[in-house]
Structure 1
Amino acid sequence: MTRASLDKQPHEVASMFDDVAANYDLTNDVLSLGQDRRWRKEVAKAVDARPAERILDLAAGTGTSSLPFTRTGAYVVPCDFSLGMLREGKKRHPWLPLTAGDATRLPFRDDSFDAVTISFGLRNVQDTDQALRELHRVTKPGGRVVICEFSHPTWAPFRTVYEEYLMRALPPVARAVSSNPDAYVYLAESIQFWPEQADLAGMLQKAGWSKVAWRNLSGGIVALHRGTKSQ
């Protein structure tokens, strides 16, 4: 079984997600106590996909995160660099145009999408700044980005309890439900070392996005960042 390190070598991260592909969605549901469903609903609202729009769902994994966008009549491209995740997604959703791609070198032309989104995947990319620039490149002028990522609770006592859960309670739960529990130790560590909400907003602005804003979900366990590509 593969466990990626915090230097996030792409082949290690991809292999790790290959290992957990079969039970990934179920494991996330258990570890988040069902909150991931609510978070994804908030993503769908923020993206606000419309009929005939082109939506890029990056780090889409098995394609589960893409389904709410397809229901609006939008054309959705689920993209991920884990071939194991994509194979699992093809079994479940054979009609989805699942696409292999690296966030730092997206296989799409400039100005291709009306909206781009990535949920719980940006912190696994080795070069976050480059990924944000690539998302900007493939978005049409006037288009939008929505990023949903684990973040940092804003209330200090809750933050302490949450970090204790991540490092002490999460690994034994992962051992019970995941095919690769060590992967979830890495995922917990990657959350702890992820930038604060305001820092990620600054990275978005540096990558060229305007009208950048964010709001916290579940007390800051997750943050929803948004931005627009200038006309």
Structure 2
Amino acid sequence: MPRASLDKDPHEVAAMFDGVASGYDRANSFMTFGFDRRWRTTTARVLDAKPGEKVLDLAAGTGVSTVEYARGGAWCLAADFSVGMLKAGLHRKVPMVAADAMCLPFADNSFDAVTISLALRNFVDTKGALAEILRVVKPGGRLVICEVSTPTFAPIRFLHRRFLLKMLTWVGSRTSSNPEAYSYLAESMLAWPDQRTLGEIIASAGWTEVEWLNLTFGVVAIHRAAKPL
């Protein structure tokens, strides 16, 4: 079965996630020791989606995050490049659409907010995707990104970098039909920029009011930004 490389060819990434879709949510919870649920809850609070709003949950996978964001009454759409991931989430009661983050099939100014959870690092062009997302968000609308980041406490940062690849490879070998996919996930985490650098990339794509919140000692961070009026 395929695994993507750090070149992040979109077809390789989609094929890789298609191959692990059936067990992805279970493996994700296992390898994060259940923290993924806490991260989703906090992301939902930061997003603060309200009734009457339209929210795009981009790279939503099976839609587990979309369900969380829709609890407040907003209309939330799950979009993903991996059709296999969407099919694995068809039992969830949220609308779904196959979509490429680099060329979104939506009109300008369509959404009040866009959110991405633990998936931005899989996009082939981070700044390009952020600029395309900006296009479909209404003026004054918001962007909320939950993504892996750099632990702020030096001992945790050392352990995180030293053992992450080994741990995810071990998890993948026991929970997935494609263990090599988890090697890619670990490599993509280790190659991902820190909090400030990602904030600068977001700002360079045209977003304003960029700020971030560290979770779990900075292992994950939530970045929030707004589209200029």
TM-score (ref. length: structure 1): 0.97
Residues 73-98 of structure 1, C-alpha deviations (whole Å, 9 max, x = no match): 111110000010111111x22x4221
Q: In the alignment, which of 139, 158, 174 is matched to residue 176 of structure 1?
A: 174
Tell me the equivalent position of 2:202. Answer: 204
Unaligned runs of 5+ in 1: none
Shift of 1:107: 0.7
Distance 2:119 2:168 in 1: 19
Identity in percent: 53
Tell me the equivalent position of 1:47. Answer: 47
Tell me the equivalent position of 1:5. Answer: 5
Q: Which amino acid aligns with 1:169?
A: M
Shift of 1:72: 1.2
Residues paired across the two proteins, number:
229
- 1:88 correspondence with 2:123: no
Tell me the equivalent position of 2:23. Answer: 23
Distance 2:57 2:217 in 1: 25
Runs of 4+ in 1 over 3 A off after TM superposition: none
Distance 2:101 2:217 in 1: 28
Tell me the equivalent position of 2:35. Answer: 35
Tell me the equivalent position of 1:194. Answer: 192
Shift of 1:54: 0.1
Shift of 1:164: 2.1
Distance 2:4 2:178 in 1: 11
Unaligned runs of 5+ in 2: none
Distance 2:165 2:70 in 1: 36
Q: Which amino acid aligns with 2:44?
A: A
Distance 1:42 1:202 in 2: 22
RMSD, aligned CA: 0.9
Tell me the equivalent position of 1:222. Answer: 220
Q: Which amino acid aligns with 2:114?
A: V
Distance 1:49 1:164 in 2: 37
Q: Which amino acid aligns with 1:157?
A: P
Tell me the equivalent position of 1:76. Answer: 76
TM-score (ref. length: structure 2): 0.98
